[in-house]
Amino acid sequence: MDKLEEIMASKRKSLEHIARPIKAKELEILGQSKSPSIPFIEALSSPDRLSVIAEIKRKSPSAGNIAKGMDAVEQARVYNNAAADALSILTDTDYFGGSLNDLWDVVDFLHQHQRTTPCLRKDFMIHPIQVLEAAEAGAKCILIIVRALTNDEIKTLQEAAFHANLDILYEIHNERELENCLNFDPKIVGVNNRDLRQFTTDLAISENLIPKIPEGIVKVSESGIFDIEDALRARNCGADAILVGEALMRSEDPDNLIEEFHSL
């Protein structure tokens, strides 16, 4: 079993006690609730510069402990002071040290301070109950890992996100996944430079795949971006945005790093 299969098996088991049928009306009510956050796709659509999705995570299978005990709200404060365009909140507990409470707390902080920064619920999404949870917490986007799901599961999550008025970041890692992803008419596609089977990273994945993503789709390069040179590689191959976690979590000056990314 590769690492992603292990994680997905664990996630499926953890959902067994909460999974239930989700009615479209439940999701639509949440989707109609007013929020100061702008749509996730809008936050990534600046024509003049590279957009930055700043990620909040405490650990990962590849890096181990990154920021053990980190306060998610304080990290969100740092990112917002640095004018990050959007936030990615890891809500997986077992492998990434996050929780759904982190998402609730960060969104509450943003709303209290009248910030419009939208949040992505970054997790291994399988069941519409997770979409419901994301919408209840105030997320504006969910993640769909194309490789990890059947087409029926993708369609079910897509429909749930539509009813909840949430954007979707479709994550791919190779051409086959891109071809499959395009069948779902994606508005945002993220190329994960990290191979989730073994958690090895190569920016050449973005350089190969991003130019093959059709015009009109927001293109995101994810993982393996640590400095301005990495970000430039992503920008030069056509990325509209980058998703950066470990580099910002470890940085002593994340404001400056985000400013450098924004200069591209």
Q: What is the pLDDT of residues 150-163, one digit of tens each?
A: 999 999 999 999 99
According to DSSP, the residues that pair with 89 across neighbouring strands are 56, 121
What is the phi-psi region of residue 114: left when phi exceeds 0, alpha when psi lies from -120 to 50, beta otherwise?
Answer: left
Percent of the chain with pLDDT over 70: 100
The model's pLDDT over 42-68, given as tens digits with 9 standing for 90+, comes to 999 988 999 999 999 999 888 888 888
- Say which DSSP state 113 is in: T
The model's pLDDT over 211-254, given as tens digits with 9 standing for 90+, comes to 999 999 999 999 999 999 999 999 999 999 999 999 999 999 99
The Cα 94–Cα 119 span in angstroms is 21
Tell me the mean pLDDT in the region 165-182. Answer: 97
Whether the Cβ atoms of residue 226 and residue 260 lie closer than 8 Å to each other: no
Closest to 239 measured CA to CA, from 254, 223, 219, 225: 219
The model's pLDDT over 83-113, given as tens digits with 9 standing for 90+, comes to 999 999 999 999 999 999 999 999 999 999 9
- Phi and psi at 218, nearest 5°, equal -70, 130
**How would residue 18 be classed by pLDDT, with cut points 50, 70 and 90?**
very high
The Cα 51–Cα 43 span in angstroms is 8
Long-range pairs, 256-261, Cβ under 8 A, ≥24: 257/82, 257/227, 258/52, 258/54, 258/79, 258/82, 258/83, 258/84, 259/82, 259/83, 260/227, 260/228, 260/231, 261/50, 261/52, 261/228, 261/231
pLDDT of residue 1: 57
Tell me the mean pLDDT in the region 189-201. Answer: 86
The model's pLDDT over 109-163, given as tens digits with 9 standing for 90+, comes to 999 999 999 999 999 999 999 999 999 999 999 999 999 999 999 999 999 999 9
The Cα 84–Cα 262 span in angstroms is 9
Look over the chain and give the mean of its residue pLDDT values, rounded to a whole number.
95
The Cα 118–Cα 137 span in angstroms is 12
Whether the Cβ atoms of residue 186 and residue 216 lie closer than 8 Å to each other: no
Counted residue by residue, the chain has a size of: 264
pLDDT of residue 36: 87
Examine the pLDDT at 196 and tell me if it is beyond 80: no
- Name the more confident of 246 and 199: 246
Which token pair is 97?
A: 């040290």
- Phi and psi at 140, nearest 5°, equal -115, 0
pLDDT of residue 147: 95
Closest to 140 measured CA to CA, from 87, 80, 84: 87
Which token pair is 91?
A: 């809500």
pLDDT of residue 197: 74
Examine the pLDDT at 22 and tell me if it is beyond 80: yes
The Cα 139–Cα 75 span in angstroms is 17
List domains and CATH numbers for the chain.
3-13+35-262 (3.20.20.70)
Least confidently predicted of 114-123, 175-184, 197-206: 197-206
pLDDT of residue 63: 84
